[in-house]
Amino acid sequence: MMTESALEASRILRDGSQFQWYVIPLLALVLYVYAVEIERRAWNVVFAGLAFWGMDWFNEIWNALVFHFTQVAPVWGAPKDTAFLILIGLNIEICFMFAIAGIAFSKTLPADPRARVLGLPNRLFFALAGSLFCVGVEVLLNAVGALTWEWPWWSARAPWLILLVGYMPFFLVAFWVHDMPSVRRQATVVGAILGFDLVCLVVFGAALGWI
């Protein structure tokens, strides 16, 4: 049986009447952030940001598929106030946030990828620290009802899957792309990530209507 939060999210899924004008300045902010890094020719930061964003889209797609196949609830949902709910757990505000977050986190990285922090490789340390920070934010969002969790293995009482599946891959892939030796390789990997996401959206969304 579908949970109340899933039913609530389903009612507003891709409902254009939810639109709010603040979406436009948020879009402008995302474009500005990328424009600044492109102007600086900081391609490692640009592609790290896009890789982070692409990894979030991958997670949001499989989350929507969980809802489709269970017809109970997604692993996480975003049923509350939004200007546009893109997928069952992804609203436009979250989408724009993740588009910027990868850039912000990659700019915290030490210049030397071989340096260690507290005995750990610094990329691993910052991936773990960033993931813990994001899990903490999600716990707060869940506490106020903005982000819903309906499965016991994905909750504040069992946060390890949120950490290991929900966020660590974002950071590890983004930092891996950041440190690649050539722009061409960065563009190829990011293109593959975003291309795969697009194929999934077309097949599972536009063609099959599952998400």
Task: Give Cα 102 to chain centroid, integer Å.
Answer: 9
Q: ∠ CA(138), CA(168), CA(162), 5° rounding?
A: 40
Burial of residue 23 (number of CB atoms within 10 Å: 0-12, 13-18, 19+): middle
Phi, psi angles (nearest 5°) of residue 94: -65, -40
Q: Do the Cβ atoms of 95 and 34 come closer than 8 Å?
A: no
Phi, psi angles (nearest 5°) of residue 125: -60, -50
| CA gap 154, 56 in Å, rounded | 17
Please count the residues of the chain: 211
- State which H helix or E strand residue 42 sits in: none
pTM of structure:
0.96
CB neighbours of residue 132 within 10 Å: 14
Q: Do the Cβ atoms of 19 and 84 come closer than 8 Å?
A: yes
Tens digit of pLDDT at every position of the chain (211 positions): 899 999 999 999 999 999 999 999 999 999 999 999 999 999 999 999 999 999 999 999 999 999 999 999 999 999 989 999 999 999 999 999 999 999 999 999 999 999 999 999 999 999 999 999 999 999 999 999 999 999 999 999 999 999 999 999 999 999 999 999 999 999 999 999 999 999 999 999 999 999 9
